[in-house]
Amino acid sequence: MAGVSRDGLLVLRLGTAQTLAWASTYYLPALLAVPMAQGLGLPVAYVWGAYSAALLLSAALGPFAGRAIDRWGGRPVLMGTSVLCALGLTALSQVQGVVSLVLAWLVIGVVMGSGLYEAAFAALVRLKGREARASITGITLIAGFASTVGWPLSSWMEAGFGWRGACLGWAALHLLLGLPLNASIPGTQAPSEPTRTTAPEPSTDHDSAPTAPPPHPWTAGVLAYVFAATWFVSTAMAAHLPTLLVASGATLAGALAMGALVGPAQVAGRLLEFGLLRRMHPLLAARAATLGHPLGAVCWMLLGPVAGPFFAILHGAGNGILTIAKGTLPLAYFGAAGYGQRQGLIMAPSRVAQAFAPLAFGVCIERWGTGALWISSALGLSAFACLMWLRMGSRR
């Protein structure tokens, strides 16, 4: 029981720190972009452009952060991101123009590339090896409420202290809460030699199972495409789902109510993975998850707004399971050795797709209206086809 208790406390600490990290970076512009632009006298597109630049930088830095975690463990890297995020948010609170705005967001981009889910997953794998799957799921369950907690808190701070005060408030939380939580992560011994990532290494204490056939050389590329395609769809829906629902005939109030189902559905999907699906190979869960958005979209296109809640639930549940798959599939195929750097490389295209998804899908909506769902559905089906090409623990 003591071991279970320690694992639970580790998940609680990391999950809480991740909730703070997501709420103050990824979800920050949704509430502060407009007041920030108004306060600076700039078009709101400038704020979103700086945010997209931060996402692109995070894609480039992900492999380096993962390699650092492979070498030294998650505690020093995540502690550094807490301090750096506090500095970036403080700088954001003091911006006076375009140049300082972009520079502040680039600092936050470094944090997003080295302090969000991929870094937390790598920290867990560095500590627990192949046994990290349940802990990865637990972290996503807690941090799945980042927008639920972050958006109201950002709104409250902005209403009471302005957008600059809100940024300072988040910076203070990183120093007072995030830094101590990340500092409490157990330390790890640095490996005597740099970890190679070109091929799976011999078994370690965590990888004592019989040696499985090596994965196909294209497996990492296939996973990179799957995650990029599904994250593009997820980000596009986060930005445009209410607009799509209204365009299909729903009222604004109805669209907001249906869109609000996505968050709980994501948590429900993660609970399903944690319970019923945890004994299955993560590939099976990922395959089913990629079909959630296309199936919901077909029902929506055929039945109209009445199928909106069904779409939101299927899309959200699938997205919730895929968030876990981003951590568990690379672990299942490549093992714990070199996990952090490999994870950063696999997820880099996802960050790029995420940066361009709102703009690209917005253009599709302008041209085809709700017909843009056929494009997002095609991406989901292509991800499903790629996962069907993969095999569980064997060379394809």
Domain positions in the chain: 8-183, 219-389
Distance, CA of 391 to CA of 34 (rounded, Å)? 46
**pLDDT (average), residues 9-25:** 90
Distance, CA of 226 to CA of 223 (rounded, Å)? 5
Contact 129, 34 (CB under 8 A): no
Q: Does the pLDDT value for residue 24 go beyond 80?
A: yes
Identity at 255, one-letter amino acid code: A
Containing 290, the helix (H) or strand (E) segment is helix 282-290
Which region among 81-85, 188-192, 213-217, 241-245 has the lowest average model confidence (pLDDT)?
A: 188-192
Q: What would the CATH number be for the domain defined by 219-389? A: 1.20.1250.20
pTM over 0.85: no
**pLDDT (average), residues 290-305:** 89
Domains 8-183 and 219-389 share a fold: yes
Contact 312, 261 (CB under 8 A): yes
User: What mean pLDDT, rounded, does the chain reach?
Assistant: 82
Among 63, 5, 105, smallest CA distance to 342 is for 63
Containing 331, the helix (H) or strand (E) segment is helix 308-334
pLDDT at 263: 76
Burial of 302 (0-12, 13-18, 19+ CB in 10 A): exposed
Identify the band that residue 376 occupies on the pLDDT scale cut at 50, 70 and 90: very high
Distance, CA of 294 to CA of 306 (rounded, Å)? 17
Task: Find which of 96-105, 112-121, 126-135, 281-290 is predicted with most confidence, using mean pLDDT.
Answer: 96-105
pLDDT at 337: 80
**pLDDT (average), residues 106-115:** 91
Q: Would you say the C-alpha torsion 166, 171, 172, 174 has a positive or negative sign?
A: positive
At 29-63, the pLDDT tens digits run 877 888 899 999 998 888 888 988 998 898 888 88
Q: Does the pLDDT value for residue 5 go beyond 50?
A: yes
Distance, CA of 54 to CA of 112 (rounded, Å)? 8
**pLDDT (average), residues 346-371:** 84
**pLDDT (average), residues 13-23:** 90
Identify the band that residue 173 occupies on the pLDDT scale cut at 50, 70 and 90: very high
247: CB partners within 8 A, 6+ apart: 365, 369, 370
Q: Does the pLDDT value for residue 210 go beyond 80?
A: no
Among 342, 344, 345, 353, smallest CA distance to 379 is for 353
Which region among 45-59, 119-133, 158-172 has the lowest average model confidence (pLDDT)?
A: 119-133
Which region among 101-110, 254-263, 323-332, 380-389 has the lowest average model confidence (pLDDT)?
A: 254-263
Q: What would the CATH number be for the domain defined by 8-183? A: 1.20.1250.20
Contact 51, 344 (CB under 8 A): no
**pLDDT (average), residues 80-87:** 95
What 3 state SS string does 222-269 have? HHHHHHHHHHHHHHHHHHHHHHHHHHCCCCHHHHHHHHCCHHHHHHHH
At 315-337, the pLDDT tens digits run 988 988 888 888 888 888 888 78
Among 240, 339, 349, 333, smallest CA distance to 286 is for 333
pLDDT at 388: 92
Share of the chain above pLDDT 70, in %: 88
Containing 300, the helix (H) or strand (E) segment is helix 292-303
pLDDT at 225: 94
Distance, CA of 288 to CA of 73 (rounded, Å)? 33
Q: Does the pLDDT value for residue 202 go beyond 60?
A: no
394: CB partners within 8 A, 6+ apart: 212, 213
Contact 21, 85 (CB under 8 A): yes
Distance, CA of 54 to CA of 114 (rounded, Å)? 12
pLDDT at 106: 95
**pLDDT (average), residues 163-183:** 95
Distance, CA of 14 to CA of 159 (rounded, Å)? 29
Share of the chain above pLDDT 90, in %: 29
Structure tokens at 323: 């968030």
